[in-house]
Structure 1
Amino acid sequence: MIKLLIVFVAIIFIAQVVRIFELSNLIKKTKNEITDYSNHINGVLLLISGIGLLIFFFWQRAEWMDQTLQGPASEHGLIIDRLWDTTMGLILVVFLALTPLLFTVAYWFRGKKENKASYITHNNKLEFFWTAIPAVVLLVLISYGLRVWGQIVNQDISDAIVIEVYAKQFGWTARYSGDDNTLGRADVRFVGGKNELGVIASNTKDSQLLELDQKIAKLQSDINNSENPAEKKQIIQRIEKLVQKKKTMMTYFVTTSPEQLLAAEDDIVTRELHLPVGKKVLLKFRSQDVLHSAYLPHFRVQMNCVPGTTTQFAFTPSVTTIDMKKQLEDDAFEYVMLCNKICGAAHYNMQMKVIVETEQEYNDWLASKNVNKISNL
């Protein structure tokens, strides 16, 4: 960080020195004449700038390359990394080929009085050359990317463990599908009290309707004790909203099939995401409020969480947390899920711990969370 700060200060210093020379010329009322000498100086400075840019590039790579992501911890992460390496490799080849050429040509053909520039309106061959080659390269890259994406999303998920990831400002909650591996129906209109995810089940319906009845009864009592007409009107409006909410909840409940109600009973809600190594997992994403983006960098997984709809991503973890700690020789290492869309003031702190473990450890942990089943809310 200190080295980066030094570089930043040096750039500002150079910019200020240039500015001082400009102001000095203005004060002295020096004529801004273009001469062979000034063109030579500018050409040399431009060449030095180009060399400095290349040195800075290689220095950054040597200094911070170890800060890039570790190897992938999922099966599909390998093909994601190959796509990344191919794309970045091509970019680096073009950068390292064209950057020296650009600055060298600018220096070599710097302004001289005896030189005359050629005026060319257009060149069909040249324009075809610099249009066709990038177009073909981009077509190949896009085709390769679509092929990789197709391999990732078109997986057999019939045996995948289904887990819901629920986003809201500013945290994550996981809901495991239980023994039947089927998530119960959920809707944001059922969010309230202990039912943070809005899961529709018999017990959540009963408890939330009871809570609404208690609120309505209290408001009706407030009406009887109030002598202020304006206050009574406000209370009546609040009661009407609560009654409408009860009707809406009952509508969603009666339109939920018995199978969906039963599926919700064994769903388990947790604040950590535990995954079994070597087992395919299907993550289903929902958002309560704004657009979020679930980002699991070590697994090369990212998917938007969109209010009002469900998105999903399937992958297979391939390295346990313990094994990754050994590989990195870092006992403090943890997998993490982040939000990769700016979603508000505390966006930076929206994260959830992810633990990859053996299947037996995963089963034992899940069994210990039976107290968090929807049926126990």
Structure 2
Amino acid sequence: MSTVLVIAVAVLVFLVIFQIAKASEYVAILKGEDRSRKENNKINGFFMITFLIAGLIGVYYCNELLVDKTLFAQPSASVQGERVDDMMKLTLVITGIVFVLTQIALFVFAYKYQENDNRKVFFFPHNNTMEIIWTVIPAIALTVLVVIGLRNWFFFTSDAPKESAVVEVTGKQFGWIFRYAGEDGVFGKKYYRMIDPANNSLGLNWRDSADINIKDDPAAHDDIVQDQTMYVVKEKPVKLIINSRDVIHDVGLSAFRLKMDAVPGTPTTLWFTPKYTTKEMREITGNPNYQYEISCDQMCGNGHYSMKGIIEVVTQAEYDEWQAKQKPAYYAAFPDKDPSNQQQAVPVAVDSAKKVTALSSAKSISTASN
């Protein structure tokens, strides 16, 4: 019913505009084409100034109304993101000034130089000075912005500090997998043909496989694998090694003002230093449910909209406590290899032996009594 109503309204509006246009033609014929054109020219000139004033007020009002819904409403959550904010502000200032000046010139010229019987047309086909000015100045401004952007990009993607934590981020349809190196501090090898969605989501080399010429890598036995939630430490640089398990994704860290493509078979890197813990950002934003998000900023399939992960920024003590509770993914796939399970099995065996000995002793005493 609503669709029919919308169509009916659209048809009605079209008919009204069509009738107004026809009426204008009839009025022009009655008054004379020349006179009608001049009157329309004056009306259009008046509307140009009206639209200019209304448009500038509208731009200002929209900015005041919606600025709290943008990322500028909260500070950058990373040290590197501050550079992005500064670059964004500089870009907005330059383009904002250009926008306002060009719009004012456009509408004022349309009003001032409308058709007038007392003024002759002045043809202005070419002027080298003006062409140099409006070519060189924008070129210089854009060059400055590009250089600033490239410097920031090279900074984010350069070698991370030696003391940085390292987290491997892998995108998949439609979620994120995070891997941390174990006690040896080394990421184990992996191979896509070893992927098992149930027990080995990254394809870590946990066993020998003669058919695909893969050997067991002990360095992969202590790697910690987490789905959907990544833990990082406040004020400690963290380097992300970014991969994809299927199609092209994009690691979007809006709160940290960073992003990087996740390309199958081609690892990319990015590093940043968190400034606020999740708890601190909740206080800053006044939102008790605030969470740092990692989103996919590249269309990757039907479930793209739901591809969201969580980043928990914690203190070093909280991180150490969390890490102490984690078990390598290898033990989840091979529970019999888990030392904790083996330690629990030993007392059971001892108790069983004691029970057998006790029963034998009881039988011996009973036999002697008889």
TM-score (norm 2): 0.79
- Structure 1 residue 124: Cα displacement: 1.2
Q: Is the 8 A contact 1:176 1:268 kept in 2?
A: yes
The answer to whether structure 1 residue 373 and structure 2 residue 329 are counterparts is: yes
Task: Tell me the equivalent position of 1:25.
Answer: 21
Give unmatched runs, 5+ long, in structure 1: 1-8, 210-245
Q: 2:235 aligns with which of 257, 262, 278?
A: 278
Q: Which residue of 1 aligns with 2:69?
A: 67
Q: How does 1:186-197 map to 2 (within 5 A)?
A: 186-192=190-196, 193-197=198-202
| Secondary structure of residue in 2 paired with 1:117 | coil
C-alpha distance in 2, partners of 1:158/1:81?
Answer: 26
Matched residues in 2 for 1:278 and 1:48: separation?
Answer: 52
SS at match of 1:118: coil
Identify the residue that residue 224 of structure 2 maps to in structure 1.
Answer: 268
Secondary structure of 2:79's match?
Answer: coil
Residues 291-302 of structure 1 aligned to structure 2 (within 5 Å): 291-302=248-259
Structure 1 stretches of 4+ moved >4 Å? 16-19
| Partner deviation per Cα, 1:327-373 (whole Å, 9 max, x = no partner) | 11210111110000111111111001111001111111122121x43
- The range that moved more, 156-165 or 39-48, is 156-165
1:244-294 CA distances to partner (integer Å, 9 max, x unpaired)? xx622xx2x14xxx7xx1221111111211111111111111111111000
SS of the residue 2:55 aligns to: helix
Q: Residue 189 of structure 1: CA displacement?
A: 1.6
What does the per-residue CA deviation read over 1:8-50, in whole Å, with 9 as the maximum and x for residues that have no partner? x9xx99xx97973444333675258462211000111122112
Corresponding residue number in structure 2 for 1:47: 49
The correspondence for 1:347, drawn from 297, 301, 304, is 304
Partner Cα distance (1:313, 1:194) in 2: 28
- Of 126, 131, 135, the residue aligned with 1:127 is 131
Q: 1:247 aligns with which of 211, 222, 226?
A: 211
If asked which structure has higher relative contact order (CA below 8 Å, sep 6+), I would say 1
**Separation in 2, partners of 1:156, 1:347:** 30
Aligned length: 316
Q: Which residue number corresponds to residue 188 of structure 2?
A: 184
SS at match of 1:163: strand
Counterpart in 2 of 1:199? Answer: 204
Q: Which amino acid aligns with 1:25?
A: A
Name the SS of the counterpart of 2:271 in structure 1.
strand
Residue 138 of structure 2 corresponds to residue 174 of structure 1? no
Q: Which secondary structure does the structure 2 equivalent of 1:302 belong to? A: strand
1:117 and 2:107 aligned: no
CA contact (8 A) 1:334 1:355 kept: yes
1:170: Cα distance to partner? 0.8
Alpha-carbon distance between aligned partners in 1 of 2:219 and 2:122, rounded to the nearest angstrom:
77
Q: Indicate the SS of the match to 2:183.
A: coil
Cα 1:19–1:263 change in 2 (3 A) is farther
Contact 1:39 1:112 in 2 (8 A): no
Identify the match of residue 89 of structure 2 among 74, 85, 89. 85
Q: Answer whether contact 1:73 1:317 (CA < 8 A) is retained.
A: yes
C-alpha change, 1:28 and 1:128, in structure 2 (3 Å) is closer
Flag the 1:338–1:134 CA change in 2: closer, same or farther, 3 A.
Answer: same
- CA gap of 1:48–1:338, structure 2 versus 1, over 3 A, is same
Once residues 26 and 302 of structure 1 are traced to their aligned partners in structure 2, the CA distance between those partners, rounded to angstroms, is 55
Using a 3 Å threshold, how does the CA distance of structure 1 residues 19 and 340 change in structure 2: closer, same or farther? farther
Report the CA distance shift for 1:156/1:335 in structure 2 as closer, same or farther (over 3 A): closer
Q: Percent identity?
A: 32
Contact 1:277 1:358 in 2 (8 A): yes
Taking a change above 3 Å as real, the CA distance of residues 101 and 28 of structure 1, as seen in their structure-2 partners, is closer
Quick one: distance in 2 between partners of 1:361 and 1:283? 20
Distance 1:301 1:333 in 2: 18
Amino acid at match of 2:222: D
* Within-5 A mapping of 1:270-349: 270-271=226-227, 272-349=229-306
Q: Deviation per CA, 1:87-143, whole angstroms, max 9, x where unpaired?
A: 111111111222222211111111223433222332111111111111111111112
Give the greater-gyration-radius structure (CA): 2
Q: 2:15, 2:122 → 1: CA distance?
A: 33
Confirm or deny: 8 A CA contact 2:168 2:242 kept in the other structure.
yes
Q: Which amino acid aligns with 2:173?
A: Q
Moved more, 95-104 or 359-368: 95-104
TM-align CA RMSD: 2.4
Question: What is the Cα deviation at residue 151 of structure 1?
Answer: 2.6
TM-score by length of 1: 0.78
Q: Which residue is equivalent to 2:350?
A: none
Q: Could you tell me how far apart the structure 2 residues matched to 1:19 and 1:151 are? A: 59
